[in-house]
Amino acid sequence: MDGTRLTLAARLAKIPIARALSYSDFRLLWIGALLSFSGSWIQKTAQDWVAYSLTNNNEFMLGLVAFCGMAPVSFLAPIMGAYVDIMDRRRLLILLMVVSAIGPAFLGFASLYGWLQYWHIVLVALVSGFVSTLEMPARQSVVRQAVPPEVLPAAIPAQAMTFNFARIFGPALGGLILVRLGAAYAFFINALSFAALITAITLIKADLSPTNREPQPIRDLIQEGFLYTFRHKDLSRLFVMEGITSVFGVFYLSLMAAIAKSMFGLGEAGLGSLFSAVGIGAITGLITIASISHYPLKVKIVKIAMTGVAAGLLLLSVTQSVWLAYVCVAITGACTIMQFNTTNTLFQMIAPARLRGRVLAMHMWAVSGLAPVGVLLFGGVAYGLGVRAALMIGGLVLAVAAAITWVKTTDMRDPAITNDEE
């Protein structure tokens, strides 16, 4: 029996994701994030449906909610990355989680007592966006502290699985709660879910003190992170590639309620199923990149995934079958997470410790900071020309950009991991 257990343990140790989860700090962060993200996806399903209904099925107004949730990152991500490098991340993350819980609780009471309005949803999305400017680079940088450097390429996709596991069952549960109990309870559940991440951050033993203790002006810190990213040839190209995908490839998520309702005649449960299909695709993509994390294929994965996002959008724009639509959004979800997560890994492998918060903030800026441009732009296109036209245009632009990328980045190679001492 002991021999069997040892054999099983040895086999598990060879699985990259299992190896990352064998570290207690990473395991705590993983579980806390999973529970917190589950609440967020439960809320998003209810929130999008309510916002779309309150605006008489206006695609632009629906996109505006997503825009407000992302816009602060567009303006503040590089600045906030500098603050992450000079602040205690444990205290910072706990404070941010407390603030994050206030908005959903407010929406819950407003919905429960019948005075919820569209502008309430916009305001809460805007506050959430401001919180994200600090929370995202702070939480991502904790991953590097929770595992040894050699485990990082597997730990980053494993951590991203929390968001996407939650996206599988969170929206479906959100749709069920919306139908059976009402939107208020979806909001309340999200407010409570932040307690899980607060608990995890409190229990983590890793040193989360400031990584940059040098007394430098904030302006100099911001400029240093910005210039490092754009003067580094590979970082700058990776930034441009994921920025293009952010603008032209992920706006469909903000239009999901319109896709469900206007393109396929689906209700609340159908909307949840579409979101879940994206999550299933994303988990598949993450498992794929985690399982091959020890091979030098990361740059190639980024380019293949970018091409796949374009293909998914183009196919979704023309299909009339709801079942094929599920496949399309799953493909798009898989390829999007493969590109963004692998780029995250490359950013962390390249960046030295003293600049990591700021460099990661630049990555977050490309992913979430530029995405509002696409959300607002294609929300307007969908309102004026239709949802299918918006998907078609975004897919075509991204396909052209992907083709150019294949030609212009033939010299890019996977880097070695940068030690924290460097």
311 Cα distance to chain centroid: 20
- What is the per-residue pLDDT across 43-74, written as a single tens digit (0 to 9) for each? 888 888 888 888 888 878 887 887 888 777 76
- Does residue 360 or residue 212 have the better pLDDT? 360
pLDDT for the residue 419:
52
**How many CA atoms are closer than 13 Å to the CA of 46, on its beta-carbon side?**
30
Euclidean distance between CA atoms 334 and 76, whole angstroms: 28
Least confident span in 208-217, 227-236, 247-256, 405-414: 208-217
Which region, left, alpha or beta, applies to residue 182 given φ > 0 means left and ψ of -120 to 50 means alpha?
A: left
pLDDT-derived band at 244 (thresholds 50, 70, 90) equals very high
What SS3 string covers 158-215? HHHHHHHHHHHHHHHHHHHHHHHCCHHHHHHHHHHHHHHHHHHHHHCCCCCCCCCCCC
341 Cα distance to chain centroid: 9
If 0-12 CB within 10 Å is exposed, 13-18 middle and 19+ buried, where does residue 14 land? Answer: exposed
- What is the per-residue pLDDT across 218-234, written as a single tens digit (0 to 9) for each? 555 556 667 777 777 78
Nearest to 318 by CA among 382, 399, 392: 392
If 0-12 CB within 10 Å is exposed, 13-18 middle and 19+ buried, where does residue 193 land? Answer: buried
Least confident span in 138-142, 239-243, 360-364, 380-384: 360-364
- What is the per-residue pLDDT across 305-322, written as a single tens digit (0 to 9) for each? 999 999 999 999 999 999
pLDDT for the residue 212:
57
Least confident span in 87-91, 177-181, 186-190, 206-210: 206-210
pLDDT-derived band at 108 (thresholds 50, 70, 90) equals very high
Length of the chain counted residue by residue: 422
268 Cα distance to chain centroid: 23
**10 Å Cβ neighbour count for 10?**
9
- CB contact at 8 A, 20 and 154: yes
Least confident span in 201-215, 253-267, 394-408: 201-215
- CB contact at 8 A, 224 and 356: no
- pLDDT score of 165 more than 70: yes
Q: Which residues contact 92 (CB under 8 A, 6 or more apart)?
A: 84, 134, 138
The mean pLDDT value for 113-127 works out to: 90
- What is the per-residue pLDDT across 260-287, written as a single tens digit (0 to 9) for each? 888 988 887 788 788 889 888 988 888 8
pLDDT for the residue 375:
83
Angstrom CA distances, 16 to 142, 148, 255, 337, stand at 18, 13, 35, 18
Angstrom CA distances, 277 to 165, 236, 307, stand at 11, 32, 19
Percentage of the residues of the chain whose pLDDT score is greater than 70: 87
pLDDT-derived band at 422 (thresholds 50, 70, 90) equals very low
Joined together, the tokens standing for residue 55 give 């605006």
- What is the per-residue pLDDT across 396-408, written as a single tens digit (0 to 9) for each? 999 999 999 998 8
pLDDT-derived band at 11 (thresholds 50, 70, 90) equals low
Helices (H) and strands (E) in the chain, counts: 17, 0
pLDDT for the residue 10:
56
User: Residue 3 phi/psi, 5° resolution?
Assistant: -65, -40
pLDDT for the residue 376:
83
Euclidean distance between CA atoms 153 and 156, whole angstroms: 6
- Among all chains, which residue has been given the structure tokens 């994030």? 33
Euclidean distance between CA atoms 208 and 142, whole angstroms: 7
What is the pTM (predicted TM-score) of this model? Answer: 0.70
- Does residue 408 or residue 358 have the better pLDDT? 408
Euclidean distance between CA atoms 41 and 166, whole angstroms: 7
